[in-house]
């Protein structure tokens, strides 16, 4: 891991974390690392510990995939895009992300080809919609894998679970990409979610890649 000493006053974006560390954030609010205090050679020097690096050129396909969709906010934005969110305010309301952070994540998602930004001009005021691309729609099994893993290894009995159902046969999915009951692929067009928590069990037929 890359390490280098920096002076505290050099980065106004520092903030204290609950653990007493000093976090370094980018202007859009994304944390990029934290400082660890060093005793040598000077008491006011700190070692910067980056949270992540650029993995886009790694030989490992897992690393390259994480580089594109590994950010937690990006995954939640994709979740809401599958659930039908299109407008900026819908993503903020459904995820709790700040406007500044959402702007940065949507820009990154559009640049990565996960989301398509579409200008809508048929109303009284122009507006932008953010729609899943084919690449973004292909990320659905990733979200399903997270949900199934959390059901098994990180359960929360008071919050419920995300129900993943095959629309072809109605069975609850036990796999991330294929219905084990009827063999149908769990694409967005063939999947219905039952959403827990604040959604109070609402059922949502997913939305996949859309044409402008």
pLDDT > 90 fraction of the chain, expressed in percent and rounded: 63
Q: How confident is the model at residue 16 (pLDDT cuts 50, 70, 90)?
A: very low
Ranges 27-41, 95-109, 119-133, 160-174: which has the least confidence: 27-41
Q: How confident is the model at residue 19 (pLDDT cuts 50, 70, 90)?
A: very low
Backbone angles phi, psi at 125, to 5 degrees: -130, 135
- What span, in angstroms and rounded, lies between the C-alpha atoms of 52 and 32? 7
Which residue did the predictor score with more confidence, 142 or 155? 142
CA distances, 205 to each of 3, 18, 33, 169, 193 (Å): 47, 39, 38, 14, 7
- What span, in angstroms and rounded, lies between the C-alpha atoms of 151 and 46? 40
- What are the tokens at 35? 């400082």
Q: How confident is the model at residue 27 (pLDDT cuts 50, 70, 90)?
A: low
Crossing angle (nearest 10°) for helices 61-69 and 72-82? 70
pLDDT > 70 fraction of the chain, expressed in percent and rounded: 74
- What span, in angstroms and rounded, lies between the C-alpha atoms of 58 and 14? 30
How confident is the model over 92-145, as pLDDT tens digits? 999 999 999 999 999 999 999 999 999 988 878 889 999 999 999 999 999 999
Give the per-residue pLDDT at 50.
Answer: 53
Helix, strand, coil percentages (3-state) for the chain, rounded to 5, are 35, 25, 45
CB atoms closer than 10 angstroms to residue 9: 8
Cα–Cα nearest to 190, from 212, 202, 206: 206
How confident is the model over 46-65, as pLDDT tens digits? 554 555 578 888 899 999 99
């Amino acid at each position: 891991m890359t390490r280098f000493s920096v002076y505290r006053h050099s980065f106004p974006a520092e903030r204290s974390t609950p653990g007493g560390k000093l976090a370094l954030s980018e202007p859009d609010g994304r944390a990029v690392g934290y400082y660890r205090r060093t005793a040598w050679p000077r008491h006011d020097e700190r070692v910067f510990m980056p949270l992540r690096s650029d993995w886009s050129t790694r030989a490992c396909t897992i690393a390259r995939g994480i580089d594109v969709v590994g950010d937690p906010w990006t995954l939640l934005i994709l979740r809401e895009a599958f659930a039908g969110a299109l407008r900026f305010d819908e993503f903020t309301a459904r995820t709790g992300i700040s406007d500044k952070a959402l702007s940065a994540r949507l820009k990154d998602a559009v640049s990565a080809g996960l989301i398509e930004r579409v200008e809508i001009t048929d109303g009284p005021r122009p507006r932008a919609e953010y729609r899943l691309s084919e690449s973004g729609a292909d990320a659905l099994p990733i979200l399903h894998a997270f949900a199934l893993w959390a059901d098994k290894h990180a359960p929360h009995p008071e919050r419920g679970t995300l129900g993943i159902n095959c629309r072809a046969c109605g069975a609850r999915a036990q796999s991330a990409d294929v219905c084990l009951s009827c063999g149908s692929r769990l694409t967005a067009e063939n999947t219905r979610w039952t959403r827990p928590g604040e959604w109070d069990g609402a059922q949502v037929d997913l939305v996949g890649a859309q044409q402008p």
